[in-house]
A = this chain, B = another copy of it.
Protein backbone atom coordinates (compact mmCIF):
# COMPACT_ATOMS: atom_id res chain seq x y z
CA UNK A 1 0.00 0.00 0.00
CA UNK A 2 1.24 3.49 -0.89
CA UNK A 3 0.25 6.68 0.90
CA UNK A 4 0.28 10.21 -0.51
CA UNK A 5 -0.27 13.01 1.98
CA UNK A 6 -2.06 16.10 0.73
CA UNK A 7 -0.53 18.90 2.78
CA UNK A 8 -3.11 21.61 3.47
CA UNK A 9 -2.54 22.58 7.10
CA UNK A 10 -5.51 21.60 9.23
CA UNK A 11 -7.28 20.31 6.12
CA UNK A 12 -4.50 17.82 5.27
CA UNK A 13 -5.50 14.25 4.45
CA UNK A 14 -4.00 10.95 3.27
CA UNK A 15 -4.66 9.14 -0.01
CA UNK A 16 -4.18 5.39 0.31
CA UNK A 17 -3.38 3.54 -2.91
CA UNK A 18 -3.41 -0.26 -3.15
CA UNK A 19 -5.22 -3.32 -4.43
CA UNK A 20 -6.94 -4.61 -1.29
CA UNK A 21 -8.10 -1.41 0.40
CA UNK A 22 -11.80 -2.18 0.14
CA UNK A 23 -11.21 -5.41 2.10
CA UNK A 24 -9.14 -3.70 4.79
CA UNK A 25 -11.73 -3.33 7.54
CA UNK A 26 -9.23 -2.01 10.07
CA UNK A 27 -7.94 0.77 7.83
CA UNK A 28 -11.45 1.84 6.83
CA UNK A 29 -12.92 1.78 10.34
CA UNK A 30 -9.95 3.74 11.69
CA UNK A 31 -10.98 6.65 9.46
CA UNK A 32 -14.72 6.66 10.18
CA UNK A 33 -14.98 8.74 13.34
CA UNK A 34 -18.75 9.18 13.41
CA UNK A 35 -21.59 6.79 14.12
CA UNK A 36 -23.76 8.54 11.50
CA UNK A 37 -22.58 7.47 8.07
CA UNK A 38 -24.24 8.03 4.70
CA UNK A 39 -22.82 6.17 1.71
CA UNK A 40 -23.67 7.77 -1.64
CA UNK A 41 -23.17 5.64 -4.75
CA UNK A 42 -24.75 4.90 -8.12
CA UNK A 43 -26.68 2.09 -9.80
CA UNK A 44 -23.62 0.77 -11.64
CA UNK A 45 -21.31 0.63 -8.64
CA UNK A 46 -23.84 -0.48 -6.01
CA UNK A 47 -24.28 -4.10 -7.22
CA UNK A 48 -20.49 -4.50 -7.60
CA UNK A 49 -19.02 -2.96 -4.44
CA UNK A 50 -21.64 -1.59 -2.03
CA UNK A 51 -22.15 -4.76 0.04
CA UNK A 52 -18.44 -5.44 0.14
CA UNK A 53 -17.84 -1.97 1.56
CA UNK A 54 -20.76 -1.66 3.96
CA UNK A 55 -19.83 -5.02 5.50
CA UNK A 56 -17.28 -2.95 7.45
CA UNK A 57 -19.98 -0.61 8.80
CA UNK A 58 -22.33 -3.15 10.35
CA UNK A 59 -22.29 -1.82 13.91
CA UNK A 60 -22.69 1.77 12.77
CA UNK A 61 -25.84 3.72 12.07
CA UNK A 62 -25.34 3.84 8.29
CA UNK A 63 -27.62 4.53 5.33
CA UNK A 64 -27.14 4.44 1.59
CA UNK A 65 -28.36 6.62 -1.26
CA UNK A 66 -28.15 5.01 -4.71
CA UNK A 67 -28.42 7.50 -7.58
CA UNK A 68 -28.69 6.94 -11.34
CA UNK A 69 -25.35 6.64 -13.16
CA UNK A 70 -24.46 9.58 -15.41
CA UNK A 71 -23.51 13.23 -15.60
CA UNK A 72 -27.13 14.42 -15.18
CA UNK A 73 -26.99 13.12 -11.59
CA UNK A 74 -24.65 16.04 -10.81
CA UNK A 75 -27.51 18.50 -10.28
CA UNK A 76 -29.10 20.71 -7.63
CA UNK A 77 -31.98 18.20 -7.59
CA UNK A 78 -29.65 15.35 -6.56
CA UNK A 79 -28.07 17.63 -3.97
CA UNK A 80 -31.51 18.28 -2.52
CA UNK A 81 -32.21 14.55 -2.51
CA UNK A 82 -29.04 13.79 -0.50
CA UNK A 83 -29.70 16.68 1.91
CA UNK A 84 -33.31 15.56 2.38
CA UNK A 85 -32.07 12.09 3.28
CA UNK A 86 -29.70 13.57 5.88
CA UNK A 87 -32.49 15.73 7.32
CA UNK A 88 -35.04 12.92 7.47
CA UNK A 89 -32.60 10.69 9.32
CA UNK A 90 -31.62 13.59 11.62
CA UNK A 91 -27.93 13.51 10.74
CA UNK A 92 -26.03 16.06 12.82
CA UNK A 93 -22.87 18.06 12.22
CA UNK A 94 -20.58 15.22 13.24
CA UNK A 95 -21.83 12.86 10.50
CA UNK A 96 -19.67 11.63 7.64
CA UNK A 97 -20.62 11.22 3.98
CA UNK A 98 -18.85 8.60 1.89
CA UNK A 99 -18.65 8.93 -1.90
CA UNK A 100 -18.39 5.48 -3.49
CA UNK A 101 -18.20 6.13 -7.22
CA UNK A 102 -16.56 8.11 -9.98
CA UNK A 103 -16.23 11.86 -10.41
CA UNK A 104 -19.96 12.52 -10.53
CA UNK A 105 -20.62 10.83 -7.19
CA UNK A 106 -17.48 12.37 -5.68
CA UNK A 107 -18.29 15.91 -6.78
CA UNK A 108 -21.94 15.70 -5.76
CA UNK A 109 -21.28 14.04 -2.40
CA UNK A 110 -18.44 16.42 -1.66
CA UNK A 111 -20.65 19.40 -2.38
CA UNK A 112 -23.44 17.97 -0.21
CA UNK A 113 -20.87 17.57 2.59
CA UNK A 114 -19.63 21.13 2.02
CA UNK A 115 -23.16 22.57 2.32
CA UNK A 116 -24.90 20.39 4.88
CA UNK A 117 -25.05 22.42 8.07
CA UNK A 118 -22.26 24.51 6.45
CA UNK A 119 -19.83 21.62 6.28
CA UNK A 120 -19.51 18.01 7.45
CA UNK A 121 -16.82 15.40 6.84
CA UNK A 122 -16.58 13.27 3.75
CA UNK A 123 -14.53 10.34 2.53
CA UNK A 124 -13.81 9.52 -1.09
CA UNK A 125 -13.65 6.03 -2.53
CA UNK A 126 -13.10 6.81 -6.21
CA UNK A 127 -14.02 3.92 -8.50
CA UNK A 128 -12.62 5.20 -11.79
CA UNK A 129 -9.02 5.96 -12.68
CA UNK A 130 -10.02 9.53 -13.57
CA UNK A 131 -11.51 10.10 -10.12
CA UNK A 132 -8.54 8.45 -8.41
CA UNK A 133 -5.98 10.75 -10.03
CA UNK A 134 -8.05 13.88 -10.43
CA UNK A 135 -11.28 14.67 -8.62
CA UNK A 136 -10.25 12.94 -5.39
CA UNK A 137 -7.32 15.34 -4.92
CA UNK A 138 -7.81 19.03 -4.30
CA UNK A 139 -11.26 19.42 -2.81
CA UNK A 140 -13.09 20.78 -5.83
CA UNK A 141 -16.74 19.81 -5.44
CA UNK A 142 -19.69 20.94 -7.55
CA UNK A 143 -22.92 20.24 -9.34
CA UNK A 144 -23.81 21.37 -12.85
CA UNK A 145 -26.20 24.12 -13.91
CA UNK A 146 -28.20 23.54 -17.11
CA UNK A 147 -26.12 26.34 -18.69
CA UNK A 148 -22.69 25.14 -17.56
CA UNK A 149 -20.74 22.39 -15.82
CA UNK A 150 -19.45 22.71 -12.25
CA UNK A 151 -20.96 26.17 -11.90
CA UNK A 152 -22.35 25.61 -8.38
CA UNK A 153 -19.78 24.28 -5.96
CA UNK A 154 -17.28 24.68 -3.17
CA UNK A 155 -13.74 23.86 -2.14
CA UNK A 156 -14.14 21.14 0.49
CA UNK A 157 -11.39 18.65 1.27
CA UNK A 158 -12.13 15.00 2.07
CA UNK A 159 -10.73 13.56 5.31
CA UNK A 160 -9.28 10.52 3.52
CA UNK A 161 -9.25 8.94 0.05
CA UNK A 162 -9.07 5.21 -0.63
CA UNK A 163 -7.89 4.53 -4.21
CA UNK A 164 -8.30 0.79 -4.69
CA UNK A 165 -6.74 -0.36 -7.97
CA UNK A 166 -8.60 -3.68 -7.92
CA UNK A 167 -11.81 -1.74 -8.57
CA UNK A 168 -10.33 -0.68 -11.91
CA UNK A 169 -10.64 -4.26 -13.20
CA UNK A 170 -14.34 -3.61 -13.82
CA UNK A 171 -13.70 -0.33 -15.63
CA UNK A 172 -14.47 -0.25 -19.39
CA UNK A 173 -11.42 0.27 -21.67
CA UNK A 174 -12.58 3.69 -22.81
CA UNK A 175 -12.84 4.91 -19.22
CA UNK A 176 -9.41 3.55 -18.38
CA UNK A 177 -7.92 5.49 -21.29
CA UNK A 178 -9.86 8.60 -20.34
CA UNK A 179 -8.29 8.39 -16.89
CA UNK A 180 -4.85 7.91 -18.42
CA UNK A 181 -5.33 11.19 -20.31
CA UNK A 182 -5.26 13.02 -16.96
CA UNK A 183 -2.28 10.90 -15.85
CA UNK A 184 -0.38 12.00 -18.97
CA UNK A 185 -1.36 15.60 -18.14
CA UNK A 186 0.69 15.53 -14.92
CA UNK A 187 3.76 14.50 -16.91
CA UNK A 188 3.17 17.28 -19.42
CA UNK A 189 2.61 20.13 -16.98
CA UNK A 190 5.37 19.52 -14.41
CA UNK A 191 7.03 16.08 -14.46
CA UNK A 192 9.12 15.26 -17.51
CA UNK A 193 10.59 12.14 -15.88
CA UNK A 194 7.07 10.78 -15.35
CA UNK A 195 6.18 11.51 -18.98
CA UNK A 196 9.24 9.50 -20.08
CA UNK A 197 8.14 6.67 -17.76
CA UNK A 198 4.64 6.78 -19.26
CA UNK A 199 6.05 6.41 -22.78
CA UNK A 200 7.90 3.27 -21.66
CA UNK A 201 5.06 1.78 -19.61
CA UNK A 202 1.96 2.68 -21.58
CA UNK A 203 1.27 -0.95 -22.53
CA UNK A 204 1.52 -2.12 -18.91
CA UNK A 205 -1.02 0.52 -17.96
CA UNK A 206 -3.27 -0.45 -20.87
CA UNK A 207 -3.10 -4.05 -19.67
CA UNK A 208 -3.98 -2.95 -16.13
CA UNK A 209 -0.79 -4.14 -14.53
CA UNK A 210 -1.39 -3.49 -10.88
CA UNK A 211 2.12 -2.31 -10.11
CA UNK A 212 2.16 0.13 -13.01
CA UNK A 213 -1.30 1.49 -12.17
CA UNK A 214 -0.38 2.02 -8.50
CA UNK A 215 2.76 3.88 -9.49
CA UNK A 216 0.91 6.07 -12.03
CA UNK A 217 -1.80 6.92 -9.51
CA UNK A 218 0.74 7.70 -6.78
CA UNK A 219 2.85 9.92 -9.02
CA UNK A 220 -0.27 11.71 -10.36
CA UNK A 221 -1.59 12.31 -6.85
CA UNK A 222 1.81 13.58 -5.66
CA UNK A 223 1.93 16.05 -8.55
CA UNK A 224 -1.61 17.25 -8.02
CA UNK A 225 -1.19 17.43 -4.24
CA UNK A 226 1.91 19.60 -4.62
CA UNK A 227 0.14 22.03 -6.93
CA UNK A 228 -2.97 22.17 -4.72
CA UNK A 229 -0.87 22.66 -1.57
CA UNK A 230 0.64 25.75 -3.17
CA UNK A 231 -2.64 27.17 -4.42
CA UNK A 232 -5.65 25.58 -2.77
CA UNK A 233 -8.27 27.95 -4.16
CA UNK A 234 -6.91 28.34 -7.68
CA UNK A 235 -5.78 31.95 -7.56
CA UNK A 236 -2.77 31.23 -9.77
CA UNK A 237 -0.55 28.17 -10.20
CA UNK A 238 -3.38 25.65 -9.82
CA UNK A 239 -4.70 26.68 -13.20
CA UNK A 240 -1.93 24.63 -14.86
CA UNK A 241 -3.96 21.56 -13.89
CA UNK A 242 -6.37 22.72 -16.56
CA UNK A 243 -3.99 21.98 -19.45
CA UNK A 244 -6.20 21.00 -22.39
CA UNK A 245 -9.37 21.80 -20.45
CA UNK A 246 -10.38 25.03 -22.19
CA UNK A 247 -10.14 23.29 -25.57
CA UNK A 248 -11.64 20.13 -24.07
CA UNK A 249 -14.63 21.84 -22.44
CA UNK A 250 -15.35 23.68 -25.68
CA UNK A 251 -15.49 20.33 -27.48
CA UNK A 252 -17.65 18.77 -24.75
CA UNK A 253 -20.06 21.73 -24.83
CA UNK A 254 -20.31 21.55 -28.62
CA UNK A 255 -21.15 17.85 -28.27
CA UNK A 256 -23.64 18.60 -25.44
CA UNK A 257 -21.49 16.36 -23.26
CA UNK A 258 -22.44 13.33 -25.32
CA UNK A 259 -20.24 11.24 -27.66
CA UNK A 260 -16.97 11.84 -25.82
CA UNK A 261 -15.86 11.14 -22.26
CA UNK A 262 -14.29 14.04 -20.38
CA UNK A 263 -10.81 12.47 -20.53
CA UNK A 264 -11.14 11.98 -24.29
CA UNK A 265 -11.92 15.67 -24.80
CA UNK A 266 -9.00 16.59 -22.52
CA UNK A 267 -6.65 14.33 -24.49
CA UNK A 268 -7.50 16.12 -27.73
CA UNK A 269 -7.37 19.47 -25.92
CA UNK A 270 -3.85 18.82 -24.58
CA UNK A 271 -2.67 18.00 -28.07
CA UNK A 272 -4.19 21.27 -29.32
CA UNK A 273 -2.52 23.23 -26.50
CA UNK A 274 0.80 21.65 -27.48
CA UNK A 275 0.18 22.48 -31.14
CA UNK A 276 -0.59 26.13 -30.29
CA UNK A 277 2.57 26.23 -28.15
CA UNK A 278 4.58 25.14 -31.19
CA UNK A 279 2.91 27.76 -33.42
CA UNK A 280 3.87 30.43 -30.88
CA UNK A 281 7.50 29.27 -30.89
CA UNK A 282 7.41 28.05 -27.31
CA UNK A 283 7.62 24.27 -27.76
CA UNK A 284 9.66 22.13 -30.17
CA UNK A 285 7.40 20.46 -32.71
CA UNK A 286 8.78 16.94 -32.07
CA UNK A 287 6.98 17.01 -28.72
CA UNK A 288 3.56 17.23 -30.36
CA UNK A 289 4.37 13.94 -32.10
CA UNK A 290 5.43 12.31 -28.83
CA UNK A 291 2.12 13.30 -27.24
CA UNK A 292 0.09 12.20 -30.26
CA UNK A 293 1.83 8.80 -30.32
CA UNK A 294 1.16 8.22 -26.63
CA UNK A 295 -2.52 9.17 -26.92
CA UNK A 296 -3.01 6.96 -29.98
CA UNK A 297 -1.52 3.93 -28.19
CA UNK A 298 -4.44 3.98 -25.79
CA UNK A 299 -7.03 4.92 -28.43
CA UNK A 300 -7.55 8.49 -27.27
CA UNK A 301 -8.76 10.96 -29.93
CA UNK A 302 -6.15 13.08 -31.69
CA UNK A 303 -8.65 15.05 -33.78
CA UNK A 304 -11.76 17.01 -32.85
CA UNK A 305 -15.05 15.14 -33.22
CA UNK A 306 -16.50 15.73 -36.75
CA UNK A 307 -19.69 17.34 -35.37
CA UNK A 308 -17.75 20.32 -33.96
CA UNK A 309 -17.31 23.53 -35.94
CA UNK A 310 -14.70 26.33 -35.61
CA UNK A 311 -17.19 29.04 -34.58
CA UNK A 312 -18.60 26.87 -31.84
CA UNK A 313 -15.16 26.08 -30.49
CA UNK A 314 -14.18 29.75 -30.32
CA UNK A 315 -17.49 30.83 -28.77
CA UNK A 316 -17.39 28.08 -26.14
CA UNK A 317 -13.81 28.84 -25.20
CA UNK A 318 -14.67 32.47 -24.45
CA UNK A 319 -17.14 31.62 -21.66
CA UNK A 320 -14.59 29.44 -19.88
CA UNK A 321 -14.16 29.96 -16.11
CA UNK A 322 -10.55 30.93 -16.80
CA UNK A 323 -11.77 34.00 -18.71
CA UNK A 324 -10.99 37.09 -16.61
CA UNK A 325 -12.51 40.46 -17.50
CA UNK A 326 -12.96 39.29 -21.08
CA UNK A 327 -9.38 38.00 -21.51
CA UNK A 328 -9.06 34.24 -22.06
CA UNK A 329 -6.00 32.75 -20.39
CA UNK A 330 -4.72 29.46 -21.79
CA UNK A 331 -2.43 26.82 -20.33
CA UNK A 332 0.38 26.20 -22.82
CA UNK A 333 3.68 24.30 -22.78
CA UNK A 334 7.21 25.70 -22.76
CA UNK A 335 8.52 22.16 -22.83
CA UNK A 336 7.35 18.71 -21.78
CA UNK A 337 7.13 19.03 -18.00
CA UNK A 338 6.66 22.79 -17.95
CA UNK A 339 3.29 24.50 -18.35
CA UNK A 340 2.63 28.24 -18.38
CA UNK A 341 -0.55 30.30 -17.96
CA UNK A 342 -0.71 32.99 -20.60
CA UNK A 343 -2.88 35.36 -22.58
CA UNK A 344 0.08 36.05 -24.87
CA UNK A 345 -1.12 34.37 -28.06
CA UNK A 346 -2.76 35.60 -31.26
CA UNK A 347 -6.33 34.87 -32.33
CA UNK A 348 -4.78 33.84 -35.65
CA UNK A 349 -2.58 31.13 -34.14
CA UNK A 350 -5.51 29.90 -32.03
CA UNK A 351 -7.74 29.68 -35.09
CA UNK A 352 -4.99 27.85 -37.03
CA UNK A 353 -4.67 25.28 -34.25
CA UNK A 354 -8.40 24.67 -34.10
CA UNK A 355 -8.71 24.42 -37.87
CA UNK A 356 -5.79 21.98 -37.96
CA UNK A 357 -7.54 19.64 -35.54
CA UNK A 358 -11.06 19.86 -36.96
CA UNK A 359 -11.88 16.68 -38.81
A51 proximal to B (CB < 8 A): no
B325 pairs with A155, CB closer than 8 A? no
User: Given the interface contacts A90-B319, A94-B325, A321-B93, does A119 sit within 8 Å of B83 by beta carbon?
Assistant: no
A49 proximal to B (CB < 8 A): no
Among A129-137, A140-148, A201-209, A280-288, the stretch that binds chain B is: A140-148
Chain B residue nearest in CB terms to A88: B147
Cβ contact of A145, chosen from B87, B151, B155, B319, cutoff 8 A: B87
A114 proximal to B (CB < 8 A): yes
Set of chain B residues within 8 Å of A118, measured between Cβ atoms: 140, 142, 150, 153-155, 233
A84 proximal to B (CB < 8 A): yes
User: Given the interface contacts A76-B80, A142-B118, does A323 sit within 8 Å of B92 by beta carbon?
Assistant: yes
A359 proximal to B (CB < 8 A): no
B145 pairs with A83, CB closer than 8 A? yes
**Secondary structure of the A side of the interface?**
mixed
Set of chain B residues within 8 Å of A93, measured between Cβ atoms: 321, 324
A147 pairs with B87, CB closer than 8 A? yes
Instruction: Please state the number of chain copies in the assembly.
Output: 2
Chain B residue nearest in CB terms to A233: B119
User: Given the interface contacts A76-B76, A92-B324, A94-B325, does A115 sit within 8 Å of B147 by beta carbon?
Assistant: no
Q: Closest CB of chain B to A10's CB: distance in Å?
A: 10
For chain A, the bracket of interface size reads: 35 or more
18 inter-chain pairs at a CB distance below 8 angstroms, sorted by A residue, are A76-B76, A80-B145, A83-B151, A84-B146, A88-B147, A92-B321, A92-B324, A92-B325, A93-B324, A115-B153, A115-B154, A116-B152, A117-B321, A118-B150, A118-B153, A118-B154, A119-B155, A154-B154
A35 proximal to B (CB < 8 A): yes
List 8 tightest A-B contacts by C-beta distance, closest first: A87-B147, A118-B153, A115-B152, A92-B323, A87-B145, A117-B321, A76-B80, A94-B324
